[in-house]
Amino acid sequence: MKYEWRKQEKEIYLPKKTPQQINIPKYNYLILSGKGNPNSELFAQQTAALYAVSYHFRMDIKKGTLGGEPMEYVVYPLEGIWTTGDGSRGETLNKEALEYKLMIRQPSCITQENLQASLEKLARKKPNPHYEMLALKEYEEGSSVQMLHVGSYDDELDSFKKMDAYLEEHQLARMNIMDRYIHREIYLSDPRKVAPEKLKTVLRYQVEQEGGTDITN
């Protein structure tokens, strides 16, 4: 049976259109850090590198070539942890100053050795200058507040205002690292195929708690 995150993990990846608090456990992620406008060709190449390795892992696991039992699953969605180097945000957001950590969750069986082997194969078959920037890390996001945003990425401010109101109502504080404005986005729609007004994006704040991982490292 194919493992489909949309069906088996609805609470995490398919939240309501209103804010809610949730605990996100520790997961394995393939990550890549960068800076600049997400509408650039650089960003597209970096995203392509993440997907190439993720689909390579999926094929190896489906064939059982990584040592475990063969398993078929749907590749997890692209995620991004966002902040800005100049402190801009909301209506004054300077996209050129954005700093991001792009991530795709991976099965727990994936190891550093698997990553290295995959990168060596892909470098020959499907070259990408950003493979060398990829890393495999575990993150435990822990206590968080999230909601589903439907619409253009440029209209996310309205949803963030709802999340801010939820935090105030429930006396919760965001996890701000070095006074930086940080949030996570999970992209459920392909902007190449879906109209801006129909895009679905999970927006998430990490809130102060005991334990959890600093998601910016």
Residues in the chain: 217
Quote the pLDDT of residue 212: 53
Quote the pLDDT of residue 66: 86
- In this model, does residue 216 exceed pLDDT 60? no
pTM, full prediction: 0.93
For 47-106, what is each residue's pLDDT tens digit? 999 999 999 999 999 999 987 789 999 999 999 999 988 877 777 889 999 999 999 999
Average pLDDT across the chain, whole number:
92
pLDDT (average), residues 114-120: 96
Quote the pLDDT of residue 210: 52
